[in-house]
Amino acid sequence: MSKRMEFSRKIKALIIARANGKCEKCSAMLKTGEGEVDHILPCALGGEATVANGRLLCRVCHVEKTTDDIRRVRKSDRQRDKASGAVRSKSALAGRKRPKPALTKALPPRPMFVTSSLNEEAGK
């Protein structure tokens, strides 16, 4: 897994200046310090910390994008593991027969009612 590459202060300042106080996704007006600088292509998928790969987002847009990024990164991890043979695909396991659990010794059936000889002794 690659190390996360943070934006330098200079690059952050250039991205913020380019955005001109607006979210670059939804165009919402942002107060000073309210926006969050985000990677367009996440570091885990090969994105670099450059002005071209960064944008200023409001908090709501940033949360949505981060959620989508996590989903995409996990998918790429699964694809990599499947291609390298680290994990078998589910279809490869579908044809395998599983061993049946061992049967335990069956107990004799319990009597459903009390016999009449016991009833007579109880009545005495």
Stretch among 4-8, 44-48, 63-67, 98-102 having the lowest mean pLDDT: 98-102
Q: What domains sit in the chain, N to C, each tagged with a CATH number? A: 9-85 (3.40.1800.10)
89 vs 2: which has the higher pLDDT: 89
List beta partners, residue 55.
38
Residue-level pLDDT at 93: 59
Q: How far apart are CA 110 and CA 95, in angstroms?
A: 41
The stretch 10-30 carries a mean pLDDT of: 94
Q: Is the dihedral of CA 35, 11, 20, 44 positive or negative?
A: negative
pLDDT tier for residue 65 given thresholds of 50, 70 and 90: very high
DSSP annotation string for 5-40: -PPPHHHHHHHHHHHTTB-TTT--B--TTT-EEEES
